[in-house]
Each structure stands twice: as C-alpha cells, then as structure tokens.
Chain A
Amino acid sequence: MRKSMTYALAAGALMGFVSLSSAQAADASASMLADTCNGCHGPDGVSQGPAAPTIAGMNKFYLVESMKAYKAGTNRKSSIMQRIAKGYTDSEVEAIAGYFSAKKFGRVAMQNTDAGAASKGQAIAKDLCESCHEKEGYAAEDYPVLAGQMMPYLKNNLMDFKSGDRSIDNNPNMSDKEKRKKKRALEDLMAKHGDDGMAAVLNFYASRK
C-alpha cells in the first residue's frame, strides 16, 4: 500500500498535475466542486441577481482565465473572488470551469432596465462592442456572454476597466493587437458617449432576454 501511494504521489508530482497537498485525498468531482459556487452564483451558476454574475454557459477558457486572474490578483481585483479562487488548484479550476461552461446561460433575474437607454445602447454596442462580443453579446465562443448579465456586475466591471483595476494591459491571454483594440473601444465609449453612453450600453446588455 505504502508503495503504491508513494508511486501515485510521485507520478502525480512528476507530471506536474497534482501538488503533494492536493494528493492527500482524491480530487473531488467536478459537480462537488462546482456546487459549492451555487450559493453565491445561483443554482447551476445562473444568478438570481442583483450583482453576482451568471457563470453558466461562459466559455471554459474565460472562466479559467478569470479564476487565475483572481488567484494571481495582478490584473483583476475583486472583493471576495480573490480570496475564494486561491482555494483551488489549477486542475480543480479546470474542472469547475468545464462544469459551468456546459450549463445553459439562464436569464431569470428581474432586472430593471430603461427601454430608451437600451435602444440607444444597442446602436453604441453595434459600433464599439460587437466585433468582440458578437451576436449582441449572446455569443460565448471567444469572449464572455454579456447579454442578460447582471447590470450592477456589468457596471462594476466597466468601472474597473476604466480605473485599471481590471487591467487589459496585464492580461496574459490577450495579444498586443487585442489589447489595443479593446482599449480603443473603451476610450471611444467614454470619449464619444460619456457616462450616459456607458449607462446606455449597460442597459442594452442587461435588457437582453
């Protein structure tokens, strides 16, 4: 027994997948790990609002990137996720991300949005956001889903992009070209459309059913 345990530990450690501490017990299943998130993010990762985002139906890479960013604390500041993300190994993060990415993005929270602002935001988003957040923000292939996401969450993150607390420059997963494109879009949003324009875009994405 001792021998086989040692072998398994050594094999895991050698392959770089399992740290010694995490190898003390078998990994929890993906659903066991992911279910612990539901208390804040909602059943199956579909948030009931008002601020915690829906994480269901996001692409897996984005969820992994977010957890790693929270863990490192270098390019994404947060209130609580920085503390939570540090509790999981990379393989656990992969499992959790895989689990939620396979769920359906649900739009269930009652969000109060302004129809006029949403309509104005639709035009701005088409001009500035659509080339990344495709299909009016419903697309999940390359970038996070924005359509139907919680408005306070969207607002907080837009503020963080503006302040640099959510840093495009320090994101290791974006090419220089991508960074330039995103920063230009954000600058255009602020310079051309101001606070009202930003609010309009938030209303547009939050109002998507």
Chain B
Amino acid sequence: MSKMNRRNFLKAGAATGAVLAAPSLANAGSHGGKHGKIVIVGGGVAGATTARYLKIGNAELDVTLIEPKASYHTCFMSNEVLEGSRKLSQIEQSYDGLKSMGVKVVKDSVKSIDAKGKKVMTAGGSTFGYDRCVVAPGIDFKVDGFADVGDFSMITHAWKAGPQTATLRKQLEAMPDGGTFCIVAPPNPFRCPPGPYERASLVANYFMHHKPKSKVVIIDRKDKFSKMGLFTGAWKNLYGYGTDKSIIEWRSAASTGGIDSISAKDMTVETLANGKEKFDVINYIPAQKAGNIAATAGLTDAKGWCPVDKTTFESKMHAGVHVLGDASVATKMPKSGYAANSQGKVCAAAIVALMAGKEVGTPSYVNTCYSIAGDDYGFSVAAVYKYNAEKDIIAGVKGAGGLTPGDASAEMRRREVEFAYSWYNNICKDTWG
C-alpha cells in the first residue's frame, strides 16, 4: 500500500517536472552499439566508481576510462605514509578490477573534449566518440604568484598522492631532530578539508617518536578549519598544544596577515607578521581549482569549478557531459573521497537510466570522513544527504550526521581508527573493484 502511494506521487511529480529534473534523454547507442558508449576522463575515486557502477547497473554498456597513470595512489591514508606507518605501495590501487568487469582502461591523457561532436581527444592521438562523457579530473593548482616554487620538486604539494608523497616523506626523514616543518594550508574550497590538519597531526606523531625536538608550523590561509575543535583537542591531548612545548603551532590567516612569498631556493616563507622565516622542510598546498581538462573543455565557472545538475551530475555548461568528484560544485557535499564515491553511484544510476530511456530516480548521498590524529586516536564526520530542489543543494538530513563528540572516550577514539582502516579497505574495493 505504501509503495502504491509513493509510485502515484512519483508519477504526478514527474509528469509536470516539478519533482524530478528531467534531462534530455540521450539517443541510446549512437556511438557504441545498442546500449551506449560512456567515456570517463580520470581514474580517481569519482571516475573509477562511476565506471564500476555503470557496469553493475548495465553490464552491456560500453565503458572506457582514460587515465594517464598506470595505477592510482589514494590521497586518503597518504598522511600515514608521511608518518611512516604505511608504505606508498599500501595506498596504490590498480585498474585490474575495473578491467575484469569489462571496463576498457586506456593509459593516455585527455587533451580536449568536443561536447557538440560528442568526442574525446587524447594526447596520444586517439579519438573516442561517446553517448555520455564523465569528467572526473580531480583538482589542479591555482598559480598563487609564488613562482619560485616551480615544479614542486624542492617544495612539495603532496596533495596528489604518489611521487610527491614519497618526496615529502624522504625530506621529513632527512630532516635533523630540532628542525621545523612548515605546512602552508590552502584557502577554501579545496580537496579534503581536514587533510592538512591530519597531516600536521601525523607528522607531529612521527616527530614525537623519532625527532622529539622537532616542530610542525601550519601557516594557514584561513581563520578556521574542518574539525577544528577535534584537532585542537587532539593536539592538546597528544602534542602539548597550547603550551610552550607544543609540537604543533597553528597560525591563522589573520595572525600572519597573509603570505608574501615562498622560496624554494632558500626554503623560506614570508608573511606580513613574521617576515622571511626559514624552515627545514616546506609543504605548500596551493589554492585549488577543477582539474585542468575541465577548463579546457569549457566546463568551469568563473571560480574554476564545474556547476552541475546535482541529481545527475550533468554539466550545466555542456549537455551530455557529467562532472563529479572534487571538480564539481556539489554544495553542500565536501570535496572528499567518500563524496566522490557516493556521487559516482548517483551519476552511474542516472546514466544507466538515461541510456535505457528511463526516468532518472531519486538520488541519495552519504559522506563519511575519518581523520587519524595519533596512535589510537581517530574521529570522524558523517552526513546523509538528499537533494533539495528548492535551494538546488545536496542538503544534509536534519538531525543526522555530524562530528565525533569532543568528549568521546579513549575507547571510541581507538575504534574510530579501526573504522578508518576499514573505511579505507572497503571504499577502495568499492571504487576500483
């Protein structure tokens, strides 16, 4: 009986377009046999999840994923590599799982997308026609004017995991005890909002155990940050934060007055308040924008991110092209791995429906994000979302979600680390197969 009511309601809403935004139905199969051809640009969490769930939704779909790297290093848990508790190979994901499901994985980089002609061109000289294209390029960096940073070989960003993570770990290992490590934290919006602070925590943990005279200084370009109360609480409990012996020092944008220069040559960061300061290792996480291909393909807005229909992740700039993950504007979902994974499922379900000439169903989204601040010390934030058509936002369900309580027991914090590791294993399996 209850189902009957809902079905009637769905029908009533869809008929006038009041409930479901109804994107144009594609001509299924014009590029790839009778079921349709999907080309995915980018093999990170968003792209890989979409590929996997397209195949789960309809194994007959012709799915091609184009990714320049032979394997993918997850940003999540890369701070444990910096801490030394995890090897780089333990955050490496292969594309074999996707291949075994019949996804064609092409090692190449996309040079341009012709949204009118429905084709994707690669640097390697190939052209791929598509019925629907999914663009999941993650992030790239904005040029801040700190030109001396150059190619990030001396001063790392380590905000795309892989060789950069390895370089930064080597620098931390080579740093003398008593040295100072500086993290320049980015302005909003950026990939993984709690990431810089987890990084500070885990490097502090490494210092505490191996180089106890060393310090971490965070020069922030914001005055507050994600999970701030939980992080500062952890720093007090673990690293002496707030005392003159603190391993971690956090400087707000207001307190420094802004950054004037960053120099790789003499390893300095210059701020209005402190002038030029020398550090032993600098990790500069620049301001961010959608991955470069998004702008090249005309998918970005003035701020450098990609506006989308939040129920299908179809671009508001080009029909037939979907953008999701960090590159998209998915207010109020954060730019997190779990959000990208969740969006991949929504996008895949929408494309499966569209290719079959069916109505797109109601989406549902979740974010869970764990941070590890030290040994047996974790916490999380979670949200369950529904699309709010009136405000055009992916709105958190009221009364649900939220942060680990500040007064959580030591046992709960220990368990959150266990669950963080489970989260890692499960989301990777769910994304790359």
Which residues of A approach B to under 8 Å, CB–CB?
A: 1, 4-5, 8-9, 11-12, 15, 17-18, 21, 23-29, 31-33, 35-43, 47-52, 79-80, 83-88, 91, 109, 150, 152, 156, 159
CB pair B9 A42 closer than 8 Å: no
CB pair A80 B422 closer than 8 Å: no
List, sorted by A's number, 30 A–B pairs whose CB atoms are closer than 8 Å. A1-B12, A8-B5, A17-B2, A24-B388, A28-B363, A28-B364, A36-B342, A36-B365, A39-B342, A39-B366, A39-B368, A39-B423, A39-B426, A42-B425, A43-B433, A52-B419, A52-B423, A79-B404, A79-B408, A79-B412, A83-B382, A83-B401, A84-B382, A84-B384, A86-B401, A87-B366, A87-B400, A150-B422, A156-B418, A159-B411
CB pair A17 B365 closer than 8 Å: no
Shortest Cβ-Cβ A-B pairs, 4 listed? A87-B384, A87-B400, A52-B422, A17-B2
A21 to B398, CA, bound (A): 10
CB pair A43 B429 closer than 8 Å: yes
Given contacts A42-B429, A48-B426, contact A27 B362 (CB under 8 A): yes
8 Å CB contacts to A: which residues of B349-371?
A: 349, 361-366, 368
Give the distance to chain B from A76, nearest Cβ to Cβ, in Å.
Answer: 14
Which of B383, B384, B418 touches A50 (beta carbons < 8 Å)?
B418
User: 0/1 per residue, B413-433, Cβ < 8 Å to A?
Assistant: 001101101110111111001
Measured CB to CB, the nearest residue on chain A to B340 is: A39
CB pair A18 B397 closer than 8 Å: no
Which of A39, A50, A86 touches B400 (beta carbons < 8 Å)?
A86
CB pair B361 A28 closer than 8 Å: yes
Find chain B residues with CB under 8 A from A17 CB: 1-2, 5-6
Give the distance to chain B from A122, nearest Cβ to Cβ, in Å.
Answer: 25
Give the distance to chain A from B406, nearest Cβ to Cβ, in Å.
Answer: 14
A49-B422, A91-B2 given. 6 additional CB < 8 A pairs? A17-B1, A36-B366, A43-B430, A50-B422, A79-B404, A87-B396
CB pair B399 A42 closer than 8 Å: no
CB pair B2 A51 closer than 8 Å: no
A32 to B418, CA, bound (A): 26
A15 to B338, CA, bound (A): 36
Find chain B residues with CB under 8 A from A23 CB: 9
CB pair B426 A52 closer than 8 Å: yes
CB pair B404 A25 closer than 8 Å: no
Given contacts A5-B12, A33-B364, contact A51 B418 (CB under 8 A): yes
CB pair B366 A84 closer than 8 Å: yes
Which residues of B approach A to under 8 Å, CB–CB?
A: 1-2, 5-6, 8-10, 12-13, 15-16, 18-20, 53, 338, 341-342, 345-346, 349, 361-366, 368, 380, 382-389, 396-402, 404, 408, 411-412, 415-416, 418-419, 421-423, 425-430, 433
CB pair B400 A18 closer than 8 Å: no
A47 to B398, CA, bound (A): 28
A71 to B383, CA, bound (A): 14
Given contacts A1-B16, A27-B6, A79-B415, contact A40 B423 (CB under 8 A): yes
Which of A36, A40, A83, A88 touches B426 (beta carbons < 8 Å)?
A40
Give the distance to chain B from A31, nearest Cβ to Cβ, in Å.
Answer: 8
Which of B5, B338, B383 touches A39 (beta carbons < 8 Å)?
B338
Give the distance to chain B from A93, nearest Cβ to Cβ, in Å.
Answer: 12
Measured CB to CB, the nearest residue on chain A to B346 is: A32
Find chain A residues with CB under 8 A from B412 CB: 79
A88 to B397, CA, bound (A): 8
A102 to B386, CA, bound (A): 25
Find chain B residues with CB under 8 A from A37 CB: 366
Find chain A residues with CB under 8 A from B408 CB: 79
Which of A1, A18, A28, A51 touches B422 (beta carbons < 8 Å)?
A51
A28 to B362, CA, bound (A): 5
Measured CB to CB, the nearest residue on chain A to B381 is: A83
A1 to B9, CA, bound (A): 10
CB pair A79 B416 closer than 8 Å: yes
A48 to B6, CA, bound (A): 36
Find chain B residues with CB under 8 A from A38 CB: 426, 430
CB pair A8 B415 closer than 8 Å: no
A150 to B346, CA, bound (A): 29
A11 to B363, CA, bound (A): 23
CB pair A156 B384 closer than 8 Å: no
Measured CB to CB, the nearest residue on chain B to A34 is: B364
Find chain A residues with CB under 8 A from B400 CB: 83-88
Measured CB to CB, the nearest residue on chain A to B342 is: A36
CB pair B386 A25 closer than 8 Å: yes
Measured CB to CB, the nearest residue on chain B to A26 is: B10
Find chain A residues with CB under 8 A from B399 CB: 86
Measured CB to CB, the nearest residue on chain A to B12 is: A4
A9 to B9, CA, bound (A): 8
Given contacts A32-B362, A79-B419, A86-B399, contact A18 B345 (CB under 8 A): no
Given contacts A1-B18, A84-B384, A156-B415, contact A36 B345 (CB under 8 A): yes
Give the distance to chain A from B385, nearest Cβ to Cβ, in Å.
Answer: 8
Find chain A residues with CB under 8 A from B385 CB: 87
Find chain A residues with CB under 8 A from B12 CB: 1, 4-5, 8
Give the distance to chain A from B398, nearest Cβ to Cβ, in Å.
Answer: 8
CB pair A12 B6 closer than 8 Å: yes
CB pair B368 A84 closer than 8 Å: yes
